[in-house]
Amino acid sequence: SRVFFNSRLNAHEADTEQFQPTREDRQLYDAARSAAALEEAKVTGCAVDASTPASTPGAVSVGYRVKKIRIGSYEIDSWYISPYPDEYSRHPLLYICEFCLKYMKSSYTYTRHCQKCTLRHPPGDEIYRDGSISVFEVDGRKNKIYCQNLCLMGKMFLDTKTLYYDVEPFLFYILCEYDARGYHFAGYYSKEKRSVQGYNLSCIMILPSKQREGYGKLLIEFSYLLSKKEGVSGSPEKPLSDFGLLSYRSYWRRAVYEILLHVGERARVVTIDAVSRKTGMTVDDVISTLQTDGMLQRKGVSYAIVVDKARIERFVELAREKAPRRIDSSKLRWAPFLTKNTTVVQEDDGDISV
């Protein structure tokens, strides 16, 4: 005799054919769905077409929007519309597991899931840890569902984000806070595995509950550390959002100023190429930063970097007070995803001069 579910069910109980819905079952379902749609329309004030299937992948009904998410111990207002499946977009509050990022419609389902979820960190390799801060590298091809859930949540806080389901060509770097319960999601950035334009970052998002803690600049600095490890210069994908441009300009200014202070004590002449190699920034971004601050001046047929030492010392000191968190390159455990015919940059204390 056949055994079903370790003898928990007999042959009759395990026969699924008897549970196929009949015509009467479908009529009852359609009537219940129509009644629920009318009741929901009264509550939300949105017109509802009950004849439209509610399971179209990636479709969001006009008038519906997830207004809040519950992730961990935080309840966060969403900023933009995210293309969750229609049956989830109808709910103003979504529950998201902070470890696997699965989204749910009810607190009961969320509570049950939290009791059964065995994941306590992102499904990738931990490549950096400094105290209670960790960064995981997650491959979009190997962990497709996790990365799709991540992109759907990220769209709630990124106006220009267009990537939702095609995650396989990307790597995701997840920033987490560690405690006894596990690794709690704080933010992430993504980048293409093979970027023709040389971009080292496609999009970046920090949860609103974790903002103003220096995590944004920490991830930006981390992206440039990986670029230097690969032996290439990098730049974020263009165009940048307004907030992204402000964050990057602040980081670029700090990175360039620190290099100018460091080498200025040992050499009177510094090249833009040398600054690019030391920071991992592209030459264009270095020039843009110097031009914005009025430090690149024309002298005859060439240009010169004119440094106001007192000014940049004040800026660097203030920046260190506002954002004391920094990336410690010695704690990175990572090898480039793709090997290129380039020479890896060696960090040294040698003079950079012409």
* Active site residues per annotation: 237
Tokens 């990336």 label which residue? 327
Name the burial class of residue 212, with classes exposed (0-12), middle (13-18) and buried (19+) by CB atoms within 10 angstroms of its CB.
Answer: exposed
Q: What separation in angstroms does the CA of 301 have from each of 270, 272, 297, 298?
A: 18, 16, 11, 7
Q: Which residues pair with 104 in a beta bridge?
A: 95
Q: What separation in angstroms does the CA of 283 have from each of 67, 235, 268, 291, 311?
A: 42, 10, 20, 12, 23
The three-state secondary structure class of 233 is coil
Count of CA atoms in the C-beta half-sphere (13 A) of 153: 30
Residue among 238, 200, 232 nearest 219 (CA):
200
139 close to 120: Cβ distance less than 8 angstroms: no
∠131-132-138 over CA atoms, to 5°? 110
Question: What is d(CA 202, CA 234) in angstroms, rounded to the nearest whole number?
Answer: 11
The three-state secondary structure class of 299 is strand
Q: Determine phi and psi for 179, rounding to 5 degrees.
A: -145, -170
Question: What is d(CA 121, CA 14) in angstroms, rounded to the nearest whole number?
Answer: 36
Name the burial class of residue 345, with classes exposed (0-12), middle (13-18) and buried (19+) by CB atoms within 10 angstroms of its CB.
Answer: middle
Tokens linked to 86: 């229609």
150 close to 122: Cβ distance less than 8 angstroms: no
Which residue type sits at 202? S
Tokens linked to 203: 């999009």
